Structure 1
């Protein structure tokens, strides 16, 4: 009997990671299983343990992908600014525009925060994300101001996701102006 031919699938690991984020968005971390992720990624269940030693490693890879993707968008927006005024507008855009703070990304962020609170190794993913955000802000603002702006962006985006009357552009810009002074 001829041996089964192995399917060449170089994108399998990346697809598993992306599918993990999809499953987390739909079922939460608590409802994310190897079986659900394998089905979503359209891979054999055995691929899960071939590519990731356990669920913690898989979740860490998925949340790292999320953090890296959001941080890259954040950095790109701030890097496009060439003056402090443009940087302030970039900060306002980061709060108000749904380009990076989509409902899905916000939901995944909440899951990451909750999971990291209970999983100390994953806190490093959060720390790296914060460091990347602050470094992008520090291109235009002093380190202490960058830290305050980072917290403000995070807080206001969270509020925007649940507040029926969130701060508008004028209000957000006024907050940014207070922080940079």
Structure 2
């Protein structure tokens, strides 16, 4: 790894940001030395100078994408908690689904879950997925607290897994609005899983 000057650090940052954008827009297949350098507007050799491999660059881009997901999820939680506590489980279920990356401006659902599959195939990506899942698990209890309900860490993990499963199923079945379908199913399941 080269010593990084301020200029070098900026270039490295440009490359990671560009790779994260490509990853979010096109998935793993879109990330190559050429596409990343082109998007960043830097010479092609920069990708091999600043990163050990394309895998290393992709891993760092995936970490960046996770940071973006978590920042967006924190914003959604802050907005949710700024409003009066809603009645029923539907608004809470919709928040959980939206926090998983499905809304205007967020990467598409298939690309989001492609990261899970790639992490299962390549352990170097698994830490990034674990990190953003852990971040989401930490954000779920405050959402429940706002509605006067408690949610422990294990239940938050269960809720995350259930929400992921509902979204993947809706996607696989070509449901017209996967987010709405998942939110409705989750709203129906929440009273059974977390009774008052």
* Counterpart check, 1:125 vs 2:135: no
* Counterpart check, 1:155 vs 2:165: yes
**Deviation (angstroms), 1:46:** 1.7
Normalized against structure 2, the TM-score is what?
0.71
The aligned counterpart of 1:93 is 95
CA distance in 1, matches of 2:52, 2:117: 22
Q: Report the 3-state secondary structure (helix = DSSP H, G, I; strand = E; otherwise coil) of the residue aligned with 1:94.
A: helix
Mapping for residues 25-174 of structure 1, pairs under 5 Å: 25=24, 27-79=26-78, 80-81=80-81, 88=89, 89-95=91-97, 97=98, 100-102=101-103, 104-139=107-142, 140=145, 141-161=151-171, 162-164=174-176, 166=178, 167=181, 170-174=184-188
**Deviation (angstroms), 1:134:** 0.9
**Deviation (angstroms), 1:36:** 1.6
1:78–1:91: 8 Å Cα contact kept in structure 2?
A: no
Structure 2: gaps (5+ residues): 1-6, 146-150
Question: Alignment length, in residue pairs?
Answer: 174
Normalized against structure 1, the TM-score is what?
0.76
**Deviation (angstroms), 1:30:** 3.7
Structure 1: gaps (5+ residues): 1-7
1:34–1:55: 8 Å Cα contact kept in structure 2?
A: yes
CA distance in 2, matches of 1:127, 1:37: 25
**Deviation (angstroms), 1:63:** 0.6
Q: Report the 3-state secondary structure (helix = DSSP H, G, I; strand = E; otherwise coil) of the residue aligned with 1:123.
A: helix
**Deviation (angstroms), 1:68:** 1.5
Aligned-residue CA RMSD (Å) = 3.2
CA distance in 2, matches of 1:168, 1:49: 42
Sort the Cα spacing of 1:20 and 1:155 in 2 relative to 1 into closer, same or farther, 3 A: same
CA distance in 2, matches of 1:81, 1:91: 14
Which is further off, 162-171 or 35-44? 162-171
